[in-house]
Amino acid sequence: MPKIVLIGAGSYVFARDIITDVLKKPSLKDSSISLVDIDPERLDIMTAFTKRLVKQQGFKTRIDSTTNRKEALDGADYVITAIRAGGWKPVLENRQTALKYGLEACPTNWAPAVSSAPCARYPRFWISVTIWKSYAPMHG
């Protein structure tokens, strides 16, 4: 049974999409999914959603959640990070800049990785990268 860890599981849209995509894959339906987020309230909402989805579909997927990344990463086979480094502030700044120049969207919004790159100065981003490297090294 593969163990999948989703860091940043409090993201209502992205986490929901990732979880449903994982559960569509026949080889992952009976996996263990650990949801991780720094916001316990958002994490509880996504945990309830995921457990309800698993139950409705009749899957044997094991769902757990925690705010402790180290705990969740222990024994992980797959790690997915879905964080928005810096929260919504950089997103709003991008949108305001775009509007200032008559654009509907900031060009960097085409990819979350690119739009989050300027936010790398936030410690949360660096902590996630460090933990991922130490707990889920590349298999080779």
Domain locations in the chain as residue ranges? 3-85+122-135, 87-119
CATH of 3-85+122-135, one of 1.10.645.10, 3.30.70.120, 3.40.50.720, 2.160.20.10: 3.40.50.720
Query: Does the pLDDT of residue 91 top 80, yes or no?
Result: no
Determine if residue 75 is left, alpha or beta; phi over 0 gives left, psi from -120 to 50 gives alpha, anything else beta: left
The per-residue pLDDT of the chain, averaged, comes to 76
Q: What is the mean pLDDT of residues 2-15?
A: 87
What's the pTM? 0.67
Residue 58 corresponds to which tokens in the numbers above?
């009749």
Residue 126 corresponds to which tokens in the numbers above?
């660096």
Look at residue 84 in the predicted model and tell me its pLDDT.
Answer: 67
List, in order, residues 6 or more apart from 136 with CB less than 8 Å away. Answer: 5, 73, 76, 78, 79
Partners of 4 in beta bridges: 33, 78
Residue 74 corresponds to which tokens in the numbers above?
């222990």
